[in-house]
Amino acid sequence: MPSALTSLRRRAKALHRNLRGARMAAHALASTEHPLLAHIIPIRRCNLSCTYCNEFDDFSKPVPTEEMFQRIDKLGALGTAVVTISGGEPLLHPDLDDVIRRIRSNGMIAGLITNGYFLVAERIKQISIDNVNPDEVSKKSLKVLDKKLQLLAEHAEFHVNINSVVGGGISNPQDALTIGKRAVELGFSSTIGIIHDGSGQVQPLNDEERRIYDEMKSWEKRSFTRINAFQDNIAQGLPNDWRCRAGARYLYICEDGLVHYCSQQRGYPGVPLATYTRDDMRREYLTEKDCAPHCTVSCVHQVSVFDGWRAPQHPAPPTPAATSARELVQIK
């Protein structure tokens, strides 16, 4: 159980966060000229190696802190609302706390996606972050994960969301249910995601996965706030009709400082963040992504909702430089 002081601080921070969230939503609706969410990678290396994951290696060095600062300042200058630090495993970066501070000093909300392996009581108390998403990972035993969740329940003053995943050939889909139940018990918010396999492909859920997905969905009102129609379609292998605003409202900044559509579409636009302009964002805002119908990248769906009713998109112009890069990986 958290101490009374931790609970009080957590409530005060939740109030502050809700106010910032409301301001962010109002600003998002008022203007399309700024990114709502950026994922930034401070290190590609991960201490684990989940079977479905195509976002890690086991050798990369951390991005130099000064370079991280420059990238974060640029995101601030573009008017980004939320910056989520992802990886690899971001807790392997030696100056993660400075990176978080830099995000906040730019007036942006700071989030962290971690496998939680390095979260011990002292570290949880040290991290001055707004949101943490412990990644549900297939390489970690439920026992270890449960211990980490207890530590977070006890010490975290920040918002914790537990994301469970099904699909992608995970051998024990039942684990998602166990983790989801535990998250609810401990008072965390919780989401369920359907994931692609290691090659970026997504398959309709099998019977057991579907049963687990449906059970979690039945908890939606209580805790699983982000399940929505798009995931229902993915679960059945059906396409979604939506406008992906990646490259404009959502940016994925890799360890080399390049802007990509998302983790699953690296390589386009694939240009340095340092030279990324509002004109680039305006172009991508209006560019149709032909991988959209079967996309599983839920955070981009969520930020694109703000503009679902706005500006129809059109295919990218076939310029010579862009012709090959336009052939996006098809997520089926």
- Which residue among 56, 188, 230, 285 contacts ligand SF4 (CB under 6 A)? 56
Q: Of the ranges 13-21, 59-67, 86-94, 231-239, which one interacts with ligand SF4 (CB under 6 A)?
A: 86-94
| Closest CB to ligand SF4 among residues 156, 291 | 291
Q: Does 84 bind ligand SF4 (CB under 6 A)?
A: no
Which one, 87 or 180, has the nearer CB to ligand SF4?
A: 87
Q: Which amino acid is at 184?
A: V
**Which residues touch 174 (CB under 8 Å, ≥6 apart)?**
208, 212
Residues 252-271 that bind ligand SF4 (CB under 6 A): 261-262, 264-265
Provide, rounded to whole angstroms, the least separation between the CB of residue 17 and ligand SF4.
24
Asked if residue 162 binds ligand SF4 (CB under 6 A), the reply is: no
Q: State yes or no: residue 39 binds ligand SF4 (CB under 6 A).
A: no
What does the DSSP 8-state code read for residue 97?
H
Question: What are the distances in angstroms from CA 308 to CA 244, 268, 304?
Answer: 9, 22, 6
Report how far residue 299's alpha carbon sits from residue 141's, in angstroms, rounded to the nearest whole number.
Answer: 26
Crossing angle of helices 174-185 and 142-155, rounded to 10°:
20
In degrees and rounded to multiples of 5, residue 142 shows phi and psi of: -60, -30
Q: Does 44 bind ligand SF4 (CB under 6 A)?
A: no
Task: Please say which residue, 110 or 202, places its beta carbon nearer to ligand SF4.
Answer: 202
DSSP string, 250-316: EEEE-TTSEEES-TTSTTSEEEEGGG--HHHHHHHHTBPPTTGGG---HHHHHHHGGGTTSS--BPP
Which structure tokens are listed for 272? 């340095």
The piece of 148-156, 188-196, 287-295, 311-319 that touches ligand SF4 (CB under 6 A) is 287-295
Single residue of 130, 135, 157, 209 touching ligand SF4 by CB under 6 A: 135
Interacting residues toward ligand SF4 by CB under 6 A:
46, 48-50, 53, 55-56, 87-89, 115, 135, 137, 244, 246, 261-262, 264-265, 289, 291-292, 295, 297, 300, 331
